[in-house]
């Protein structure tokens, strides 16, 4: 790889030093552990301007003071200063009207970081703010309590413990779903069934979620199968071990299953894409000043025929891999439209152990496509049966997408 910068497609959390970090944008449901190659702080004046008329003019200060005065004097409940201060800062960030940008208090940041060792206590859902204003389930983590309970990709969360939440309050819902191990949380979802919207309630017991990201096996004769559940720090090494083991067993063709994979580290996903690509572009990012950063594959590549499985739960890093392999005509994509997550966030540490996460750029496939809110259409669109009980080799009889991949490779 010619370019290596750690970027995360967020879900539950990331490792933060006392510096900033890059993320590719999901907002909620899994942990990442990584080291950062770039050390810089954003709390010094040389890095960020914090005064001047563009930030806080007298009229704004006077109005704000008057509003706080009325709240203190006339609001029907007592409100402490900390609540008002946090609300003020959150309001500034919320004014961006960007569900992926947020201010985090010390406690929120602590929770955000708890998942950095690859495990956390929760129900095991990857979620994102939906275009329709709902909290959308990108995917349940395989083997998690939510997965076992039957929550599916595309479900929309409307309540947690009987409290209503929306895309705007998604982080509050995520915090509510996490908590003490062994305790039960109620999650109410809206699901499209036979052209109707139906409400389902799930009582789910929280567990410690441990993530195993790579699963490989031989399906038929010379056809190998590797499923990647997310692009975590050890995923590349685990993938290569599995891939090399399958090659030693004689596979000559491969199915790469990225269904339900919500993303992960850019550095990891580009390394895996590089395995199958010769010299060229994998992905590039673009900032508001027009600056572009490219991530390249080298000349070496594995030549075996390749099919990639995707669906609506394939997001961010999964779309980088599938988009690169499709644009460069290296693999056939089979399944359904991917999620459509094509923006990058950066997390900046602030004073008093707080932080702000801001969208800073967008990314593009090799052909220049920005897939944000659009997704990637597979070469072969194949829907799953409506009442399918599971996907993958253990459910081959009903997994129409996997069947199609095998058909293409035979």
Active site residues: 316, 327, 341
Pick the closest to residue 290 from 344, 348, 361 (CA basis).
361
Report, in angstroms and rounded to the nearest whole number, the Rg of the chain calculated over CA atoms.
22
In the block, tokens 């990637």 appear at 376
Non-local (6+) Cβ contacts of 141 within 8 A are 29, 30, 124, 125, 126, 147, 209, 211, 229
- Alpha carbon distance 258, 237 (integer Å): 17
* Distance, first Cα to last Cα, the chain: 32
Question: What Cα–Cα distance (Å) separates residue 23 from each residue in 108, 112, 157?
Answer: 17, 13, 24
Non-local (6+) Cβ contacts of 316 within 8 A are 9, 24, 25, 26, 262, 263, 264, 339, 341, 342
In terms of phi and psi (left: phi > 0; alpha: psi -120 to 50; beta: otherwise), the region of 102 is beta
**21-24 vs 343-350, strand pairing mode:** antiparallel
- Alpha carbon distance 61, 54 (integer Å): 12
Main-chain dihedrals φ then ψ at residue 184, nearest 5 degrees? -95, 140
- Asked whether the beta carbons of 344 and 360 are under 8 A apart, the reply is yes
In the block, tokens 């599938």 appear at 322
Copy the structure tokens of residue 397. Answer: 């009889």
Non-local (6+) Cβ contacts of 388 within 8 A are 395, 398, 399
- Alpha carbon distance 52, 136 (integer Å): 40
Residues, the chain, total? 410
Q: How far is CA 88 from the centre of its chain?
A: 28
């Amino acid at each position: 790889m010619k370019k290596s910068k750690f970027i995360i497609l967020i879900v539950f959390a990331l490792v933060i030093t006392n510096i900033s970090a890059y993320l590719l944008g999901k907002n909620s449901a899994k942990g990442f552990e990584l080291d950062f190659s770039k050390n810089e702080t954003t709390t010094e004046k040389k890095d960020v301007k914090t005064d001047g008329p563009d930030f806080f003019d007298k009229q704004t200060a006077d109005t704000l003071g008057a509003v706080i005065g009325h709240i203190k004097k006339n609001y029907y409940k007592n409100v402490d200063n900390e609540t008002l201060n946090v609300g003020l800062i959150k309001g500034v960030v919320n004014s961006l009207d960007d569900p992926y940008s947020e201010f985090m208090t010390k406690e929120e940041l602590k929770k955000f970081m708890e998942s950095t060792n690859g495990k956390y206590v929760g129900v095991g859902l990857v979620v994102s703010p939906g275009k329709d204003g709902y909290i959308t389930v990108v995917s349940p983590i395989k083997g998690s309590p939510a997965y076992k309970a039957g929550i599916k990709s595309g479900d929309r969360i409307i309540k947690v413990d009987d409290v209503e939440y929306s895309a705007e309050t998604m982080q509050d819902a995520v915090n509510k779903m996490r908590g003490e191990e062994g305790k039960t949380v109620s999650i109410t979802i809206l699901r499209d069934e036979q052209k109707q919207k139906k409400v389902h309630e799930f009582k789910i017991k929280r567990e410690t979620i441990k993530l195993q990201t790579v699963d490989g096996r031989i399906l038929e004769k010379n056809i190998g199968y590797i499923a990647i559940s997310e692009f975590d720090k050890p995923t590349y090494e685990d993938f290569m071990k599995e891939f090399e083991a399958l090659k030693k067993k004689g596979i000559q063709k491969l199915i790469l299953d990225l269904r339900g994979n919500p993303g992960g580290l850019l550095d990891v996903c580009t390394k895996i894409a590089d395995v199958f690509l010769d010299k060229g572009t994998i992905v590039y990012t673009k900032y508001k000043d027009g600056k572009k950063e490219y991530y390249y594959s080298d000349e070496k590549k594995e030549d075996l025929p390749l099919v990639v499985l995707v669906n609506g739960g394939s997001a961010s890093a999964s779309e980088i891999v599938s988009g690169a392999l499709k644009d460069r005509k290296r693999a056939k994509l089979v399944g359904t439209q991917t999620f459509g997550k094509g923006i990058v966030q950066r997390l900046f540490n602030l004073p008093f152990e707080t932080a702000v996460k801001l969208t800073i750029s967008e990314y593009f496939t090799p052909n220049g496509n920005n897939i944000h809110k659009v997704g990637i259409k597979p070469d072969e669109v194949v829907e799953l049966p409506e009442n399918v009980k599971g996907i993958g080799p253990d459910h081959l009889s009903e997994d129409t997408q996997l069947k199609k991949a095998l058909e293409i490779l035979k």
